[in-house]
Structure 1
Amino acid sequence: MKITIITVGKLKEKYLKMAVDEYSKRLSKYCKLEIIEVMDEKTPDKMSITQEILIKQKEGQKILKNVKDNSYVIALEIQGKMLTSEKMAKKISNLGLEGKSHITFVIGGSIGLWEEVLDRADYRLSFSTFTFPHQLMRVILLEQIYRSFRINAGEPYHK
């Protein structure tokens, strides 16, 4: 199975990079992982609705350029469906059984995802009603993907 994570912005913090590297290494046993970073747009402090829409659109266009036609797209979105770790593992397993061997997860920038990206998504996933920094969300997502593969392999993983 191939897992692609498309994310807005670069990781700057060393500790987050180390965590991403660690989970990437662990996941290499289970899947082919690709992380694509698209450049984020500058967001002014007091931005208008029009500016917000334009920023989401620019970031969204960059995201969509990297989405493969045959990929099953899961957008991380606060209004998405929440799953337990076990249900997330089952979803990944079921996708594989359905012949969907490429899953793309999309993490938006600091102001969220453009509506056209959400429209392209096959599934909208929420980790919480909390708002997380998008850089930290990358680590959380990788951990949950790793946990899913461990669960599906019948390997022990703490609860």
Structure 2
Amino acid sequence: MRLLVAAVGRLKPGPERDLAARYRERAAQVGRGLGFPACDIAEIPESRARRAPDRAAEEGTALLAQFPTGAVLALYDERGRSDLTSEAIAERVAGWRDAGRPALVLAIGGADGLDPTLRARAELSLSFGAATLPHGLVRVLALEQVYRTLTILAGHPYHRGNLDER
């Protein structure tokens, strides 16, 4: 299963880009033995449209153009679920992989959010909480969750789980 993080905007040189690259490389290393040959990034330029809905629609169309056929779409969106544990996310990803799905796309919208067309197509929509976060930081967090998901599937000790249950 191909992993693709498709995001609006480009990360500038600096700590966010370095950390995103670090988690992406780690995910690629762990993922190879689990049926995830790579973790790719697609950066979409921000729209220059005047109105926010037009910007979101234009960015949504550009994001959709990057998606492989048959992709499972998971979004990082303020309207998404914030109640899933990392273990639950790993179970979903493993289920999609085991069902023979060709790709998992994690889409991160621009400053105006994700277009309703994208949200309607998503099989899963996630949120990092109610707070508004910078898009560069959301990308780092999304890539960390990809890495965490793969370490859970590999039985690697990176994820320690719920310490209250020990």
Distance 2:104 2:14 in 1: 27
CA shift at 1:41, angstroms?
Answer: 2.1
Cα deviation code 1:70-111 (max 9, x no counterpart): 111111111112211111111111111221141001000011
Give the one of 24, 42, 51 matched to 1:36: 42
Describe the SS at the equivalent of 1:37.
strand
Question: Which moved further from structure 2: 56-65 or 117-126?
Answer: 117-126
CA shift at 1:69, angstroms?
Answer: 2.2
Task: Count how many residue pairs are aligned between Structure 1 and Structure 2.
Answer: 153
1:62 is aligned to: 62
Say whether the 8 Å CA contact 2:53–2:112 is kept in structure 1: no
Cα deviation code 1:32-83 (max 9, x no counterpart): 1110000002477xxxxxx111111111111111122211111111111221
Describe the SS at the equivalent of 2:79.
strand
- What are the ranges of 5 or more consecutive residues in structure 1 without an aligned counterpart? 45-50
2:111 is aligned to: 110
Which amino acid in the other structure matches residue 54 of structure 1?
Answer: D
1:39-54 alignment, distance < 5 Å: 39-42=45-48, 51-54=51-54
1:2-41 alignment, distance < 5 Å: 2-29=2-29, 30=31, 31=36, 32-41=38-47
Question: Which moved further from structure 2: 3-12 or 24-33?
Answer: 24-33
TM-score between both structures, scaled by the size of structure 2: 0.86
CA shift at 1:137, angstroms?
Answer: 0.4
Say whether the 8 Å CA contact 2:151–2:159 is kept in structure 1: no
Which amino acid in the other structure matches residue 137 of structure 2?
Answer: L
Runs of 4+ in 1 over 6 A off after TM superposition: none
CA shift at 1:123, angstroms?
Answer: 1.6
CA shift at 1:127, angstroms?
Answer: 2.0
TM-score between both structures, scaled by the size of structure 1: 0.89
How high is the sequence identity, in percent, across the aligned residues? 30
1:48 is aligned to: none
RMSD: 1.5
Say whether the 8 Å CA contact 2:152–2:159 is kept in structure 1: no
CA shift at 1:13, angstroms?
Answer: 4.2
